[in-house]
Structures are given as structure tokens and as C-alpha cells.
Amino acid sequence: MWHAGRGPRPAGGRTSLEEDYLCITYEHEDSAPDGYFLTIQAPRPGNPYGEQSWSVTIEQWIPDEYDSDGEIAGAHGDTVLECVLAERPTAGQLASLLTLTESGPEQMSKWAETHVGEALAGTAFIVTSHDDDH
């Protein structure tokens, strides 16, 4: 479980804290090579290229290359949906979001189907944009 104040540590997945970009990325350990991952982005005031608001995104790995056995050898992340937040989320909201991701890779697959204007199931995060190609 992820505990606010002790750093991101959800069980059953890979989490990274990117200090330069002020974001947390989480991918479930059982996620397929072309599966989904979650990013929580904090604002970067004063940076003309940085985020101005908090956001939660669901992204999907898109294969770029395959090896001689037909296995995915390289991929890039493509945004499926985004929740731009009007105000800073609480530590409890972020902890709850990360805890929900621990249930398995199917949680993000379900969230990826959420329409604009709807909340990600089990959260208060409202989808503000969705790429319908996914």
C-alpha cells in the first residue's frame, strides 16, 4: 500500500518519482507490454513548458519495434485520458488512487474507457479529455 509521507510504494507494481518533472508514474507488474500506466503530475509554476495544474493521466504503451521472435522490443507512451484538476488533490486522494491501481492491470483498462465528464471509478477525478482512438 502507498503511504503519504513515506513515499510512493504501491505493492504489485513499478512506481517512479521523477523529481525533475514533479510526477509519479505507476505501472502494475502484471501489465501487458502494450498495457496502461498512470501518471500523477504536479504543477511546475515558473516553467514556461511545465504543467500549470495538477493532472492524472492514463497512458498506454504503443509498440515501436519488435525483435526477431515478434516480441515487443521498444514502445512509447500515448495519452489515453487526462483529468486536469481544478485544485490540489489531498494526500489521501492520491493514496486512494494508487491503492486502487494495486487491484490489477484491469483497473486501468476499465478507467481507460471512462468518458469526458465522468469520474474515474472509485475516485473524485473527472476526465477532462479522452483520445477516442484507444
Number of domains in the chain: 1
Assigned domain for 23 exists:
yes
Task: Identify the pLDDT of residue 44.
Answer: 80
Assigned domain for 5 exists:
no
Instruction: Please give the model's pTM, rounded to 2 decimal places.
Output: 0.78
Rg (Cα) of the chain, in Å, rounded?
15
Helix (H, G, I), strand (E, B) or coil at 2: coil
pLDDT tens for each residue of 59-75: 998 888 888 888 877 77
3 alpha-carbon distance from chain centroid: 17
Contact residues for 36 (Cβ-Cβ < 8 A; gap 6+): 27, 58, 59, 60, 61, 80, 105, 108, 109, 111, 112
User: Where in the sequence is the domain holding 61, given as residue range(s)?
Assistant: 13-130
